[in-house]
Amino acid sequence: VGEGDVMLDKSVRDAMPSNGFFPAYVRYARAQTDAPDIFHLGTALAMFSAVAARGSRMAIPLPGARRKDGKTHTVTPLHLWVLLVGPSGARKSTAIQIGSRIMWYEPPMRVEKSPEATFNRWSKESGNGTLGCHGLLCYPEASVLFDIVRKPWWALAEGFLCNVYDGLTMKRLLVGKATTKDGKRTYGPPIEIKIEGPRIAFLGGISPALLSVRHHDRVSGLLGRMMMLYGDRERLDVFPPLRREDEEQRLGRMFRKYALRQRTVDMKPESWAKFVAWAKALDRESGNYAPDKRAMMTRLPQHVLRVAALYRLSIPDDDGTVADVIDRALALGELAKGAILRLPKMEK
């Protein structure tokens, strides 16, 4: 345990690498506010994934595409959807604000009032070769997003956002250009627009009191694609410290160095064995819970895989702690499972 880690929440310290970008960031951020440490880690993961997903991915040892070296693998993208859950006043927005000063320099993406407008806007930001549409959806008050997609005109298009998380290319036909001749209006051929392989991360915060407990929201798939992390303030800092701009600049350089690495992260067989054992145990355990919570737990293994790859990218190649990133990712998976179990009972 390093000197700067002594006051860190032990569960959070065990759920992130001991070296590299993430512990350096969490140590700095926790000195700026009394927000729980888990919010700083969740913020860093979402923002790091928004950048890393542009050019990096993870290869897991499952039958799939064959690489040039002859190995078979299945590739998973790295963008994460993270939902910080905590009571009002737990500093969710503060944690996100600190992260944006260091890790995010582009205007965040947003969901428009209609699925058609959202598709059109995002398609204009697409077409970047194999990278596709990328960015960060940031909603410090995630209830705003949930209110948008609950509108009647979103009822048949909620799958659109689920497809965005899954990284699926989507196409849409628009009416061709209209021309008028001799008082008669005609239309040209349909115009195809598409969102190419989206790699869009999400970061939001919400209070348990505002978190929907309706059955539709639990089983529709949108909430289940978010890795929920619960926290509450245990400290009370009345006077926040002064910002250390030199330290923020150093962390910003460190962030860009590791997040912008474009590489395929290979999961080692021994790490894969640990992951499979944990996923099987989770599947058995989830059978004891209500159907809505069981459904949300089915995506936890996918979150853990992405977190493990992001942890690997955040550590220097010659660092001796690389081997234990899967253990740290699994520990974070346990914290995310705890957040699911804290969800209130569904409304009828």
Q: Is 283's pLDDT higher than 60?
A: yes
Give me the mean pLDDT over the 17-42 stretch: 92
What pLDDT does residue 6 have? 43
What pLDDT does residue 129 have? 39
User: Per-residue confidence at 347, pLDDT binned at 50, 70, 90?
Assistant: low
Give me the mean pLDDT over the 332-347 stretch: 87
What pLDDT does residue 346 have? 64
Query: Distance (Å, rounded) from C-alpha 275 to C-alpha 246?
Result: 39
pLDDT tens, residue by residue, 46-105: 999 999 888 787 777 665 545 555 555 566 788 999 999 998 888 999 999 999 988 876
Query: Distance (Å, rounded) from C-alpha 290 to C-alpha 71?
Result: 40
Place of tokens 């996923």: 279
Give me the mean pLDDT over the 33-39 stretch: 92
Query: Distance (Å, rounded) from C-alpha 217 to C-alpha 219?
Result: 6
Strands (E), the chain: 57-66, 72-76, 81-85, 134-139, 170-174, 178-181, 184-187, 191-195, 199-206, 227-230, 264-266
**Count of all residues that appear for the chain in the document:** 348
Give me the mean pLDDT over the 133-145 stretch: 88
Q: Is the Cβ–Cβ distance between 16 and 22 less than 8 Å?
A: yes
What pLDDT does residue 4 have? 44
User: Per-residue confidence at 221, pLDDT binned at 50, 70, 90?
Assistant: confident
> What whole-number percentage of the chain has pLDDT above 90?
34
- If one compares 191 and 312, the residue with the highest pLDDT of the two is 312
- If one compares 62 and 236, the residue with the highest pLDDT of the two is 236
> What whole-number percentage of the chain has pLDDT above 70?
80
What pLDDT does residue 269 have? 84
Residues 147, 202, 97: CA angle, nearest 5 degrees:
95
